[in-house]
Structure 1
Amino acid sequence: MSEATAAPGGATTAEATAILLRDEDDVAIATADLPAGTTVSVGDRAVTVATTVPRAHKLAVRDMTIGTALRKYGQVIGRTTRAITAGEHVHSHNLAFDDGAREYAFGTARETPPARMRGRTFDGYVRGDGRVGTRNFIGVITSVNCSASSARMIADQFRGLGALDDYPHVDGVMALTHGSGCGLVPDSEGGRTLLRTLRGYARHPNFGGLLVLGLGCEMIPVTALVEDLELPEGMVVETMTVQETGGIRATVRTAVERIRAMLPQVDRARREPVDVSKLVLGLNCGGSDGYSGITANPALGYASDLLVGAGASSVLAETPEVYGAEHLLTRRAVSEEVGRALLDRITWWQDYAAAGGGTLDNNPSPGNKAGGLTTILEKSLGAVAKAGSAELSAVYEYAQQIDTPGLGFMDTPGYDPVSVTGLVAGGATVVCFTTGRGSVLGSKPAPTIKLATNSEMYRRMHEDMDLNCGRIVDGTATLEEVGEEIAETILAVASGRQSVSEELDLGQDEFQPWQLGTVT
């Protein structure tokens, strides 16, 4: 028999193999594979493992009858589908989603985040409108899919070793291509969403120059992407269409000439120290597991609180993956209006899922379940930990401009590339992305920092991860220590240090606007 300890409230030792997050929880989280017959000391009780419990999965710490509302994080995550005895593995075979009533309150749990990062700076690019970029790219933005191949050919002329050696202050030339722009009604929800996304990228502070490229006969013309956009002084902008320029070959030749003419001016930009309050952080996760809610997500939430306390903006996203935890966010809302705006988006998603023949509890994915997550309620309760404890200051539509300091929420799908695209379109200049199963996501022009939730995956995929948050469970670092490290990593990357996804030149193909509405 092996023994391990886990103190109430989540305090653990290096030898711990099960963690009880709250005294009232019905389950603990295995931090190692627990064979049947193992005795584990959880809080003030000894539990003998009845059936093998995989690492990151749930272990029952008390007997439960069929139909019990089971708790983790101190919140209901589902209802038992049969009687469960202490020591059993709790997962899809004996626990199911149960959309019980949640009590909504507004502004009853507002907290002021710590202010100890006030006065800190990062080295950024100050744009003519006062916003600050963390990178200095030239973007080739397409108004329609018909110009996508041409845009890639243009950007490819500036990729590879030596292509921009004469312009050391230009981070690259990137193509933003997508599968829409025609065949949809411009004033429809889908048309407005696409236009808002493209215009958000066009005015992003990480761009020093733009070439907007269309075919010439699309429903969303190139002029719509930049007209009345109030681009910052000094931004270099060119617009072209393939039809007017004479076809693909002529377009590529002409566009390359125009970008070469832009390069000297874009290269004049220089980094300078700016207050951390100018930072806009996007929070996202993907490939979550049973560790996500106890390591990387709360550590990122801790870092988010530090930045928000210094006046920065930090934005949570993925509406289907806060479903079941939205009542915790409304309690942190600065006003009832902000809280109800979040609930309105939840209602929209319930209707949207029903119209497509589904429900929001179709989540978690098979990979999430293999990693120990059973219901969307459990997944969401872990996901909202990325938002720390700061009060909720604003709720944004997809790709809407982030204009309120503090913690915000953006309505996006849970699909990682689409969600991150919305955050970057809104103005996020750095993205932090937590993953337990392993993700190879990148983003441009805003860099993505990838945070591993567990040490096993980090060792296996360390070349794709920026930081290992699994040390929290291993007992080699505290949550606060990892949170501080994340905050310092954010400032370093904002100041120009490449993230691992940037080293691999990822992000161009991950530009994926949310496609909504009828296509004709």
Structure 2
Amino acid sequence: MLHKILKIHPKDNVLVALTDLKAGEKIEFEGNDITLTHDVKAKHKFAEGEFATDEDIYMYGIICGKAMHHIAKGEVLTTQNVAHKTSEFTGVRDFKPWSAPDVSKWADRTFMGYHRQDGQVGTANYWLVIPLVFCENRNIEIMKNAFVEELGFAKPNKYKSFVKQMKDLYTQGKKSEIEALNVETAETEGESRIFKNIDGIKFLTHQAGCGGIRQDSEMLCGLIAGYINNPNVAGATILSLGCQNAQPSILREKLDNINPELEKPVLILEQQQEGTENNLLTNAIQKTFLALTDADQLERKPAPLSKLTVGLECGGSDGFSGISANPSVGHASDLVVALGGKTILSEFPELCGVEQELINRCTTDKSADKFVSLMRAYAASAEAVGSGFDMNPSPGNIKDGLITDAMKSAGAAKKGGTSPIVDVLDYAEYAQKPGLNLLCTPGNDVESTTAMAGSGANVILFTTGLGTPTGNPVTPVLKVSSNHILAEKMDDIIDINTGGVISGDKTIDQMGEEILEHIIEVASGNKKAKAQLLNQDDFIPWKRGVSL
């Protein structure tokens, strides 16, 4: 049964509209009669009582804003009457024991994965081709054109066939028939792969590796090292120009730091050493092809669920994200942790206002101190350029009910469930400890998912209320909708629909269990993430410094 309103936490002094409400409508809640002063769209909030100027506004049990002026009982909250505000955090840890969920029914479950020699298990088997510097992007594209279609990794392109049909009609003098064409009827050729145990060759490009500051190139090498070490990657071909800041020696050092026992093939070719472009590309293509023949020998085998490393992401969030999708993902995270796996919660600007809760969940003072240090440094760097975490909500967030960063953050943090935080990682550090890990990344969707794959995530859960196509080259990204409307409207990008939590048909625990089952299917290769089917390979390294 769909209820009209929701109070998320007993301490809250605002109510959430679960459906569109009209001005003048009378709402009865816990003996309190509220007459709405304005129309309230679904996902938005209205005042449970009167607010005085500067009075604190609570959601999720924490301070999420303050009244900019008097707000009447029943008045909708907007950016015109509410300003960003958060609680102060002390940094002092108050850790309490965790009550883990019952995972007995998954105790003997496995997924079919690719076992690496270092003990990690991949949910996919990709070969990576990536440059150390943007100067090599063109050569990466040439290699891509040489490999992808010939080896059967190209996705059928109905739009290419659609254009061909229009071209044929136009050259035949049948321009009037073009508008009657339908892209869905365009004929496409299916793929014919010769390497049956390789899921794809991923050719990545970027705009980093030289210029900027040296720290940016160091971080790029750390990120690429993480991608090479990711269990979904069989090996890599690295193109280097030779004179750039991001040197092969730095990449090797980063690889040694992550995994001194790495036995994956890493082919590094340097253009200034190889000589002509022809020499570089001939050698790179030949060596890569031979390496692919070896990578194809690996087959999926059963692996315990403790071998899962699940990234937790949100993007295009709405006012329902923190009520349905995020807590459902949070329960799935708790299940994975209870089974001995790893989960990764990132997007530090979207943890603003919940710092103390996360500090209290850290298992050591060292981790808590590192989290405080990273958060304060990040906030200070934003303020130094005239910005701040308070400017994080996007126009789409605001339009759909997330009017302050604290409000957005309080809901976003629900993706991390309730489990203890075993480690805090800076950008490009690799997740090594079973349990929930915090990873310092921007709130930007692609920069964050890029980082999580570089920290070892072999599956990523991505909640959204507005819709986003974001994917990753080497890690399946499962899109989790917060509401029924989005799931129906953009079913080509949504994998899992948690709208049943809003409609009252499902509980958060039930949805969390369904999400875990979906993860197992994707990890085993039985299902593809929608982003994989769309070939959505988004990769953006984070540049912390200024360009010089």
**Residue deviations 1:172-221, cap 9 Å, x none?**
111122111112454xx323222211111122221112111111221222
CA contact (8 A) 1:110 1:331 kept: no
Quote how far apart the aligned CAs of 1:470 are.
Answer: 1.4
Tell me how far apart the structure 2 counterparts of residues 150 and 231 of structure 1 sit (CA, whole Å).
30
2:533 matched to 1:503?
yes
Moved more, 230-239 or 472-481: 230-239
**Residue deviations 1:469-508, cap 9 Å, x none?**
111101221111111111111111111121000001111x
CA contact (8 A) 1:202 1:226 kept: no
For the residue of structure 1 that corresponds to 2:209, the secondary structure is coil
**What amino acid sits opposite 2:20 in the alignment?**
D
Which residue of the partner structure matches residue 218 of structure 1?
244
Tell me how far apart the structure 1 counterparts of residues 223 and 251 of structure 2 sit (CA, whole Å).
9
Q: Report 1:438-477 matches (<5 A).
A: 438-477=467-506
Q: Structure 2 vs 1, CA of residues 419 and 399 (structure 1 numbering), >3 Å: closer, same or farther?
A: same
For normalisation by structure 1, the TM-score amounts to 0.93
Q: Structure 2 vs 1, CA of residues 99 and 307 (structure 1 numbering), >3 Å: closer, same or farther?
A: closer
Q: 2:293 aligns with which of 253, 261, 264?
A: 264
**What amino acid sits opposite 1:62 in the alignment?**
G
**What amino acid sits opposite 1:427 in the alignment?**
G
CA contact (8 A) 1:223 1:239 kept: no
2:225 matched to 1:194?
no
Number of aligned positions between the proteins: 503
Which residue of the partner structure matches residue 91 of structure 1?
78
Which residue of the partner structure matches residue 173 of structure 2?
none
Quote how far apart the aligned CAs of 1:80 are.
Answer: 0.5
Q: Report 1:257-296 matches (<5 A).
A: 257-296=286-325
Q: Report 1:175-194 matches (<5 A).
A: 175-186=203-214, 189-194=215-220
Tell me how far apart the structure 2 counterparts of residues 234 and 169 of structure 1 sit (CA, whole Å).
19
Tell me how far apart the structure 1 counterparts of residues 236 and 508 of structure 2 sit (CA, whole Å).
41
For the residue of structure 2 that corresponds to 1:432, the secondary structure is strand
For the residue of structure 1 that corresponds to 2:139, the secondary structure is helix
For normalisation by structure 2, the TM-score amounts to 0.88
For the residue of structure 1 that corresponds to 2:236, the secondary structure is strand
Tell me how far apart the structure 2 counterparts of residues 403 and 80 of structure 1 sit (CA, whole Å).
43
Which residue of the partner structure matches residue 131 of structure 2?
142
For the residue of structure 1 that corresponds to 2:361, the secondary structure is coil
Tell me how far apart the structure 2 counterparts of residues 99 and 112 of structure 1 sit (CA, whole Å).
28
Quote how far apart the aligned CAs of 1:100 are.
Answer: 4.4
**What amino acid sits opposite 2:524 in the alignment?**
S
**Residue deviations 1:311-365, cap 9 Å, x none?**
0000100111101111111111112222121111111112111221212211111
Which residue of the partner structure matches residue 130 of structure 1?
119
Quote how far apart the aligned CAs of 1:272 are.
Answer: 0.7
Tell me how far apart the structure 1 counterparts of residues 113 and 346 of structure 2 sit (CA, whole Å).
25
**Residue deviations 1:359-404, cap 9 Å, x none?**
2211111111011011111111001100000011110010101011
CA contact (8 A) 2:91 2:372 kept: no
Tell me how far apart the structure 1 counterparts of residues 272 and 152 of structure 2 sit (CA, whole Å).
28
Moved more, 22-31 or 382-391: 22-31
Q: 2:405 aligns with which of 350, 373, 376?
A: 376
Identity, in percent, stands at 32
**What amino acid sits opposite 2:332 in the alignment?**
A
Tell me how far apart the structure 1 counterparts of residues 437 and 357 of structure 2 sit (CA, whole Å).
14
Unaligned runs of 5+ in 1: 1-13
**Residue deviations 1:76-99, cap 9 Å, x none?**
111111222221111212111124
Q: 1:358 aligns with which of 381, 387, 398?
A: 387
Q: 1:61 aligns with which of 48, 53, 57?
A: 48
Q: Structure 2 vs 1, CA of residues 56 and 190 (structure 1 numbering), >3 Å: closer, same or farther?
A: same
Tell me how far apart the structure 1 counterparts of residues 88 and 252 of structure 2 sit (CA, whole Å).
46
Which residue of the partner structure matches residue 545 of structure 2?
517
User: What is the RMSD of the two structures over their aligned residues, measured on CA atoms?
Assistant: 1.8
Quote how far apart the aligned CAs of 1:232 are.
Answer: 5.9
Q: Report 1:49-448 matches (<5 A).
A: 49-116=36-103, 117-160=106-149, 163=152, 165-186=193-214, 189-226=215-252, 229=256, 230=259, 235-448=264-477
Q: Structure 2 vs 1, CA of residues 303 and 100 (structure 1 numbering), >3 Å: closer, same or farther?
A: closer
Moved more, 94-103 or 456-465: 94-103
For the residue of structure 2 that corresponds to 1:89, the secondary structure is coil
2:13 matched to 1:26?
yes
**What amino acid sits opposite 2:69 in the alignment?**
R
Tell me how far apart the structure 1 counterparts of residues 386 and 262 of structure 2 sit (CA, whole Å).
48
Tell me how far apart the structure 1 counterparts of residues 93 and 462 of structure 2 sit (CA, whole Å).
28
For the residue of structure 2 that corresponds to 1:403, the secondary structure is coil
Tell me how far apart the structure 1 counterparts of residues 425 and 91 of structure 2 sit (CA, whole Å).
20
For the residue of structure 2 that corresponds to 1:465, the secondary structure is coil
Moved more, 435-444 or 232-241: 232-241
Quote how far apart the aligned CAs of 1:251 are.
Answer: 3.2
Question: Which structure carries more helix by proportion?
Answer: 2
Tell me how far apart the structure 1 counterparts of residues 286 and 122 of structure 2 sit (CA, whole Å).
25
Unaligned runs of 5+ in 2: 154-192
After TM superposition, what 4+ stretches of structure 1 lie above 6 angstroms from structure 2?
none
Tell me how far apart the structure 2 counterparts of residues 231 and 344 of structure 1 sit (CA, whole Å).
28
CA contact (8 A) 2:210 2:217 kept: no
**Residue deviations 1:4-48, cap 9 Å, x none?**
xxxxxxxxxx23111111233111111111111222333443322
Tell me how far apart the structure 1 counterparts of residues 124 and 133 of structure 2 sit (CA, whole Å).
25
Tell me how far apart the structure 1 counterparts of residues 379 and 151 of structure 2 sit (CA, whole Å).
51
Quote how far apart the aligned CAs of 1:112 are.
Answer: 3.4
Tell me how far apart the structure 1 counterparts of residues 307 and 404 of structure 2 sit (CA, whole Å).
37
CA contact (8 A) 2:67 2:82 kept: yes
Tell me how far apart the structure 1 counterparts of residues 91 and 32 of structure 2 sit (CA, whole Å).
34
Q: Structure 2 vs 1, CA of residues 288 and 245 (structure 1 numbering), >3 Å: closer, same or farther?
A: same
